[in-house]
Each structure stands twice: as structure tokens, then as C-alpha cells.
Amino acid sequence: MSFRQPSVLPGFGLTFGFTTFFLSAIVLLPLAALALAAASLHWSDFVHVVLSPRALGSYRLSFGASFLAAAINLVFGLIIAWTLVRYEFPGRGLIDALIDMPFALPTAVSGIALTTVFAHNGWIGRYLEPWGVKVAYTWVGVTLALTLISMPFAVRAVQPALLEVQRDLEEAAETLGAGRIYVFRRIILPAVLPALLTGFTLAFARALGEYGSVIFIAGNLPMKTEITPLLIVIHLEEFDYHGAAALGVVMLGISFVVLLAINLLQAWGRRRHVRAAH
Amino acid sequence: MGAALPSALAGDATRPGQHTWLHSLVRWLFIAVSLTFLAAVLLAPLATVFVMALERGLQAYLHSFADPDTAAAVRLTLTTALVVVPINTLFGLAAAWAIAKFEFRGKSILITLIDLPLAISPVISGMIFVLLFGLHGWFGVWLREHDLSIIFALPGIMLATMFVTFPYVARELIPLMQQLGNDEEEAAITLGAGGWMTFFHVTLPKIRWGLLYGMVLCNARAMGEFGAVSVVSGHIRGLTNTMPLHIEILYNEYNFVGAFAVASLLTLLAALTLVVKTLVERTGYRRR
């Protein structure tokens, strides 16, 4: 087989050449620089950087808060998607459009706005303060910011799956005497499970790398409220390029594993889909 | 971004067993939970932006844009977007043409590589350019000898922005052009039209809404990017501060009216982006 199948259409050389050249220059070459910078670090130094107590503390917060945010979005994403797909209410179209707001809104804006709302004198923060719940400048705030920016991933992953649930099946089950909870557990949940897990993983991946919205609300205390991306920035500001690159490689490696998980989940979902159709 | 909802499925009233008191209780509970969640994490912050910006009145709000550093930040952000968006649009068109119109080996790898910047933390996206062009980077010494600066200067900001917005146009156009197929282009070529003529008169009219949508998304991210640009910018007031970076500086100086005034512009831009998205979806163009 040759590299390319013949076609009457022109322009392959031009567009393919431009695409690969530009991709190499803007994306691949800089990423290679990262790999080289981390590789030029001696193994013991690499371990020293990526397993330092401060780095471990930042992983704990970054992974913990991202996981929690993705879990919150798993629950609320399903509820919101369900509400938007199944119920008619005034303002539904507007709410549906607003779900994408965290995609479009610059992270710095989300960051300062959330901090203001949840500060001890903010609109919501002042009602939480008497209960002893501090949001701004704690890990709770970090989780909240990550929840906001990853929310659209969860909702948008589940929405199409919910639309495809066959309502005939639900009605048949109910006619045969099944309760709503039984129908949800045995018909709806199995149908949307792959989409739910994909949404969870996408939200988790997005939350892990997030920087802009978090640094405003986090307080940024080492070991306590310092996320891994911020630790990378701190290394860079001290001109410790190798340390920054080492942490960057660790984060990239983890993102790669998460992306792999997404692809496997989606393949699993497609297989289930095909099996269900037969 | 997600698909629009066909409203045909939303009507519940005519279905059997849908009007019991339990069902309407569950229904209102779900709507209430959804709206409360969205109000707390999304609507309250959005409203805060404008309330804080206008806290000292319209006069103070407008006055904050007269600040020369703020004006410089707005200019820098506009300049960056004006350079980055057209370049990435050109790339997106070329990539979509190569990938959607031809069959070749390694296509799926190419698509994955194009999407790569979306999976990378913004901080790392900025850092890779510091590693290349920074003072202690691969080309740092050479650049200094030739008195060139990329990091902590405009070229670095543009490169980092180009990296993070790289996939946006391409990933809108590739599935759209794959779905539309090649028949019309092949007919045009067979009838004697040239390549460019075919592109401008056959392909472009079919993909214009998807193209517009991709460009709008690319622009929103280009103007709003914080993490990647923050790493390469150096935060020099009036010189290398984009609007999001200027928000951070004003906010940390407790100049809340100024910070939220700049934030309000970016919020309006985000709202405009969503309006374009909704309008484009209404024309019938939908993402997979």
C-alpha cells in the first residue's frame, strides 16, 4: 500500500506539508525541548525534585481536588443533563447555552469572581462563615474553582447519551410494574454509564492542569493550598528550568494515562452500544 | 462544546404515568437542584463581575479604561488575537483539507497530535517556550548575543497563545468536512475547475458556519488565555501585560473596580462567543 490513496482532488502536497511543518514548529519541537530538559537532569536529581515533600503536597491537593471536582460534576452533571433533556421549563434554552460559559470565560475572570463570591464577606461566603465553612483560600475553594471550570465536560458528555435512551423501554418496564428507581438503575444508568465515566475523566483531566482560576482562590500556601502547576511556575520564576521540566514531565505522563483511559472508555462505550443494538 | 437539544423529546405531558404527584415532585426537585447549583457556581460569579465593576458608579467604571496600562493591555490582547487567529485559521483550513479530503497512512496519529495542546496544562504550554527561548533555554545564549528577545516580549506571548489555541479551528473543520464528503469537489475538478476555485466556490460556502464557529472559539481562548501567557510574559506593565494578566495585577493591588472592569470586557466577549455558538447551531450546523 502506498502512503496515500490516489484522488482527483489537488492540494494534498501543499496542505499536508503546511500542516506537518506548522505542527512540528509550534507543537512538537517545543514539547521535545521539554523532554530533553527533563532527560538532561540526573536521575537522582529528578527523583529529588518530583518526590520532594512540597511536590508530594502539591500532588495531593491537585489530584484530590480534581478527583473531588470531577466526582461532584458526575452527580450534578447527570442531574443538570437530565433536567435539560427531560423537562420543559422557562429559561431552559438560556440555561443550556450558559452551560458552556466556563469554556468561553477566561480563567482569570472565573478566579477573581469566585473568590469574591465565596470570600468571608461575599454573597455566599458570608452565609457559610457562621457554619465554620471557609471556602476562599482553602482546599474547598480549590475544589470549587475546579468544579466550575470542568462542569461543561460532564454535562456535555452525558446529554447526548441521555437523549438516546429509548423511552419505549422505560415505558414498557413501567407498564410491567417497575418503579422509577428500578427503571433508572436497570435501563437508564447502564445506557449512560460510559458517557458518565467519559465525562468524569474529561473533567478530571481538565481540572488537573488548571491554573488561572485556582491561584486566586487557593491562597497558595506551600504544602497546603499549592497546586502542582503553581509549583512549576515557582520553579520557573527561580530560573530552575530543570526542576520545572521534571514536574512538567510528571504531569504530562499522568495526563497521557488519563487520555488513554478516556479512549479505552469510549471504545468500551461503542462496543456496548453495538451490542445493545443487536 | 455540546450539541443543541431537539425539543421534541422534552415534552412530557402526553406520556402515560407522567402526571402523578410523585413525578411532578421529582421533576421540580431536579429543576431546583440544577438551578441552585448553577446559580451558586456560575450565575453568582458572573453577576459579581458586573456588580463589582460598577460598585463606584458608571463614572469610575469608564474611568478605569482611561488608565494607560489598562489601555495598553487591551491593545496587546487585540494585537495578539489579530495575529494568532488568522494564522491558526489558515492552519485549520490546511489541516482539514489534507485530513478530510485524502486517505493516507498515519492520519489518526496526525489528528491526535493536532489535539495535543488541549490535553496539556497551560502552565506547561508556556514553559516549553521558556525552555526553548528563555535566558537559560536552548536558544537563550544565541538570542541574547543577537539582541533578540522572545520570552518576556511580544513574540513569546504570541507563540504561547498560538500553541494553546492551535487545535480550535482544525477540530471544528475536520469532522465537518469529513461528514460533507468529497463528491461536489470531485465534480468541480472533473468539470475543469482549478483547486483554488473549487475551494472558494464549492468548499468554503459549505463550511463557512463551522469555520466562523472555530474562529470565534479560537479568538475567545486567545484573548482569555492566562496560564501559558503568564509564564512567558514577564508581567511588565504597559508592555507585556495582556488583559487577563492585567486583571491579576489590579486585583492583587486591591484595585477591584479596575480589575473587574477589565474582567467585564472579557465576560462580554465570552457572552458574545456563546451567542455566536447558539446562532451557528440554529443554522443547522451541528457538531457530532
pTM of the model: 0.89
Provide, as residue numbers in chain B, all residues whose Cβ is less than 8 Å from the Cβ of A108: 224, 226, 244-245, 247-248, 263, 266
Amino acid identity of A55? A
- Do residue A11 and residue B199 have CB atoms under 8 angstroms apart? yes
Give the integer Cα–Cα distance in Å for A189 and A170.
12
Q: Which domain holds residue B193?
A: 56-287
Instruction: Report whether A229 contacts B123 (CB < 8 A).
Output: yes
B94 Cα to chain A: minimum distance (Å): 5
Nine-digit cell string for A21: 511543518
pLDDT at A173: 85
B95 and B25 co-located in one domain: no
Angle at B175 between CA B171 and CA B176, to 5 degrees: 105
- Which of the 8 DSSP states describes residue A4? B
CA-to-CA dists, residue A186 to A47, A111, A165, B24, angstroms: 48, 40, 12, 22
CA-to-CA dists, residue B157 to A41, B32, B112, B126, angstroms: 27, 43, 25, 9
B130 and B10 co-located in one domain: no
pLDDT digits (tens, 9 = 90+) for B189-227: 999 999 999 999 999 999 999 999 999 999 999 999 999
B118 and B135 co-located in one domain: yes
A12 Cα to chain B: minimum distance (Å): 6
CATH of the domain at B116: 1.10.3720.10
| Confidence check on the interface: ipTM exceeds 0.85, yes or no | yes
Nine-digit cell string for B234: 514577564
Other residues' Cβ atoms within 10 Å of the Cβ of residue A253:
10
Nearest neighbour of A95 by CB, restricted to B38, B134, B195: B38
- Do residue B2 and residue A160 have CB atoms under 8 angstroms apart? yes
- H helix or E strand, kind and range, residue A92: helix A92-98
Give the integer Cα–Cα distance in Å for B189 and B201.
12
pLDDT digits (tens, 9 = 90+) for A74-126: 999 999 999 999 898 898 989 999 999 999 999 999 999 999 999 998 999 99
Give the integer Cα–Cα distance in Å for B193 and A147.
52
Nearest C-alpha neighbor of A76 from the set B2, B166, B40, B227: B40
B149 and B269 co-located in one domain: yes
Nearest neighbour of B91 by CB, restricted to A22, A95, A205: A22
Give the integer Cα–Cα distance in Å for B269 and B272.
5
B140 and B38 co-located in one domain: no
Residue B191, Cβ density class (10 Å: 0-12 exposed, 13-18 middle, ≥19 buried): exposed
B12 and B98 co-located in one domain: no
Give the integer Cα–Cα distance in Å for B195 and A54.
58
**A26 in B contact zone (CB under 8 Å):** yes
pLDDT digits (tens, 9 = 90+) for B77-130: 999 999 999 999 999 999 999 999 999 998 988 998 998 898 899 999 999 999
Nine-digit cell string for A204: 478530571
Q: What is A44-273's CATH number?
A: 1.10.3720.10
Provide, as residue numbers in chain B, all residues whose Cβ is less than 8 Å from the Cβ of A86: 9-10, 12
B131 Cα to chain A: minimum distance (Å): 7
**A35 in B contact zone (CB under 8 Å):** no
Strongest mean pLDDT among A174-178, B71-75, B143-147: B71-75
Nearest neighbour of A117 by CB, restricted to B48, B128, B278: B48
B243 and B263 co-located in one domain: yes
**A176 in B contact zone (CB under 8 Å):** no
Judged by DSSP in three states, B113 sits in helix
B181 and B126 co-located in one domain: yes
Chain B: residue whose CA lies nearest to A16:
B98
pLDDT interval class at B144 (50, 70, 90): confident
pLDDT digits (tens, 9 = 90+) for B53-73: 999 999 999 999 999 999 999
